[in-house]
Structure 1
Amino acid sequence: MSKLITVFGATGAQGSSVIRSLQSNTSKRFTLRGITRNLESASAQHLSASGVEVVKADGWDKEALVAAFRGSWAVFVNTNSDDVVFENPEETRTEADLGRLVVDAAAEAGVEVFVYSGMASARETTKGKIPAAAFDDKHVIGEYAKATGAFKSVVIVSPGFYFENFSIPDMAPIFGGFPFTPSEDGALVFRAPKWGGKEDIPFIAIGDDYGDIIHGILLEPEKYNGNLVQGVSDVRSLDATTNAFERATGKKARFEEIPKWQDLEVYGIRALETVKLMFGFCQESGGRYYGVETENATAAGLKKKAAEARGKSGEETQLLTLEKWFGREFGGK
């Protein structure tokens, strides 16, 4: 009998990746349910048309969440740090409050496996020097889920810096115009603070790899119970990143350092303030985005396991590299 997996945040980038991967499991061992706040949205309609059961629930409505989670063997949860509700200066609720409510609803519904898109704590990793709400709140949620004792397995899967960030034209001006607007000498320049430590930046192809990493965990969740799994496709410095772009596209590119992370101009945009703090947190911690050294061997094993469960073989079972992604997305442009 197939096991029901419910995805909270089903129409977002992470949730969509998880659903796509699980849908193509050749054994049909899973059935899928997606939670959305708007059943009439195009993304929700697309999910429904693909065979996913789509139900309506708001993250702040515990009763609706319990009903949405009921009957699920496992849930994948991604809470949105950039939800518009948190833009209201009079809002006193936090992402941690939302996450605890979701955890409690899953526990009440009898869910056995809780997989959460969480983070290491910036506050704890830097010994209080650089707190960052998006990191710290997600860490609190993951720890709370583990502390309840309500689940057979709790796994935190922490995504790195999205490959897909490079494909957002509105983000390019923040980082020197890369990879859309050339500098005066014609090169595409990525301008940012250094990462810190070994400059071992964890990059993740959300669309190609993140769902498979979650899928791999759900094939044997007890093996990863209590762990923070690094969601990493490729590990590069920013110099190596622009070099990869140059090799993949034939276009001249380079990295230029912003000497002080505090000088990264984000124009008061809340989501980008988190990115700015990320650089500060990583510099202060010696590059330890995960609180420990970055690695992607675990992710590579999970990717292979999930890809094989999807009927893939050879190169398709491997994590995507920056060269391959840049070549695909920008090579012909």
Structure 2
Amino acid sequence: MSRQLITVFGATGSQGSSVLNSLQTNTQKPFALRGITRNPSSDAAKKLSDSGVEVVKADGWDKDSLISAFRGSWAVFVNTNSDDKVFEDPSETRTEVDLGKIIVDAAVEAGVEVFVYSGFNSAREITGGKLGVEAFDDKNAIWEYAKSGGKFKIAVAASPGWYFENSLVKDLAPILGGFPFVPGEDGTLVFRAPKWGGKEDVPFISIDDDYGDIVHGILLDPERWNGKLVQAVSDIRSFDGMVQAFETATSKKARFEEITNWRDLEVYGIRSLETIKGMWGMCQISGGRYFGDETEGKTAAGLKKLAAEARGATGEATGLATLEHFYGAKFGREKTA
């Protein structure tokens, strides 16, 4: 019996890599895997190819190349990059929505049955029209387009929370007080940012450890999730809880300092940081509803367990990652009870 083919658009990105890494180790129902990249000669693409993933070249703006790349696929996973440099060109008139529609149309023409998109609900809708955030609103438009008109047998959004891995971006640290790289004058690592809003239930996600498993879990039983937005969450904490987890894991002093007005967060006109600033505004206006609904981790935990067991994992290895584990692994030795 031939294996079902799953194709990943953006195969060498953080999300795409996580999805492929998880699917590759399925021992119960192995899939055939294909990765799409604009540069098959890159080191990341070569690594994928060496691991057994079929690597094909295609460009998101080139519909014909995408149709060819998607052909024969039972399912596809797609993440579009809101921070692609093409969108920073002031003369560029194309949008992320335009890109997403090309990808969706190509998948339809290729006969794809299951479409999983790294999508979001609309910031403008979440805030009752008070605030738009381009990346959220564009990804929502793509997600709604994919769901509409019976294009696919199954369409699902796997919506990622705030990345654990954002703490590894050294260029981001100075914008947010220096945490976890640059201590203040008193030696404390400070995370300076607006509060989240509502119950301060920030939905953190480990892209490396959990996001791929959550998508994998969706693909093991996709009909159950048809038309739904799945909250991809590893650990739900306040920002105070985040820095406390860092202290516990590393024995280094850290604290959260609030920026009272989210509009006062200085982002220097950088496109990707403008999105983060808007995200804080969206969450404060909506009472912390990053996903549009109340944040919950039960769904992600179930999907993680399903996929982890399909990979042969047992016990604690089937659970979601924690901030303590992440910070202990990246910044110091974890404390034991």
Q: Do both proteins adopt the same fold according to a TM-score greater than 0.5, normalized to the shorter chain?
A: yes
Q: Report the number of matched residues.
A: 333
Matched, 1:14 2:15: yes
Please tell me the residue identity of whatever aligns with 2:67: V
Counterpart secondary structure, 2:28: coil
- Which residue in 1 is equivalent to 2:100? 99
Match status 1:223 vs 2:224: yes
What one-letter code is carried by the residue in structure 2 that aligns with 1:92? Answer: T
| Superposition pairs of residues 130-149 of structure 1, within 5 angstroms | 130-149=131-150
CA shift digits 1:115-134 (9 cap, x unpaired): 00001110111122110110
Structure 1 stretches of 4+ moved >2 Å:
none
Contact 2:10–2:80 at 8 Å: present in 1 too? yes
Alpha-carbon distance, 1:148 to partner = 3.0
In structure 2, how many angstroms separate the alpha carbons of the residues matched to 1:237 and 1:121? 23
2:29–2:310 Cα contact (<8 Å) kept:
no
List gaps (5 residues or longer) in structure 2. Answer: none
Q: 2 CA distance for matches of 1:296 and 1:116? A: 19
Report what 1:306 is aligned to. Answer: 307
Counterpart amino acid of residue 307 in structure 2 = A
Kindly state the Cα deviation for residue 27 of structure 1 after the two structures are TM-superposed: 2.8
Alpha-carbon deviations, 1:252-308, whole Å to 9, x = none? 110000011111111111101100000001001110000010001000000000000
* Match of residue 89 from structure 1: 90
The offset of 1:331, in angstroms, is 1.1
The one-letter amino acid paired with 2:152 is F
Give the residue type in structure 2 aligned to 1:150: K
Distance 2:48 2:270 in 1: 30
The one-letter code matched in structure 2 to 1:47 is: L
The Cα of 1:67 is off from its aligned counterpart by 0.4
Cα pair 2:193 2:257 within 8 Å, conserved: yes
Asked whether the equivalents of residues 24 and 30 of structure 2 are also in contact (C-alpha less than 8 Å), the reply is no
Q: 1:289 and 2:290 equivalent?
A: yes
Is 1:261 aligned to 2:262, yes or no?
yes
Residue identity in the other structure for 2:294: E
Distance 1:313 1:27 in 2: 14
Offset from partner CA, 1:133-165 (integer Å, 9 cap, x none): 100000011111010302111000100000000
| 1:39 Cα deviation from its structure 2 partner | 1.2
Q: Deviations over 1:182-226 (max 9, x none)?
A: 111111110000110111000000000000000000001000000
Q: Match of 1:247?
A: 248
What is the DSSP-based 3-state SS (H/G/I as helix, E as strand, rest coil) of the residue aligned with 1:76?
Answer: strand
Paired position in structure 2 for 1:34:
35
Shift, 1:29, TM fit: 2.5
Distance (whole Å) between structure 1 residues aligned to residue 333 and residue 185 of structure 2: 22
- How far apart in 2 are the matches of 1:133 and 1:208? 28
Aligned letter for 1:17? S
Q: Which runs of 5+ in 1 are unaligned?
A: none
- TM-score between the two structures when normalised by the length of structure 1: 0.99
SS of residue matched to 2:132: coil
Spell out, residue by residue over 1:66-119, the C-alpha distance to the aligned partner (whole angstroms, 9 max, x if none): 000000000000000001110101111110111011000000000000000001
CA RMSD of aligned residues (A): 0.9
Alignment partners' CA distance in 1, 2:104 and 2:212: 21
Corresponding residue for residue 329 of structure 2? 328
**Alignment-derived partner of residue 6 in structure 2:** 5
Residues 1:71 and 2:78 aligned together: no
Question: For residue 303 of structure 1, what is the amino acid of its counterpart?
Answer: K
Q: Name the counterpart of 1:236.
A: 237
Matched, 1:190 2:197: no
Which residue matches 1:199? 200
Secondary structure of 1:54's match? strand
Structure 1 position 332, deviation (Å): 4.4
Corresponding residue SS for 1:75: strand
Q: Distance in 2 between matches of 1:28 and 1:305?
A: 12
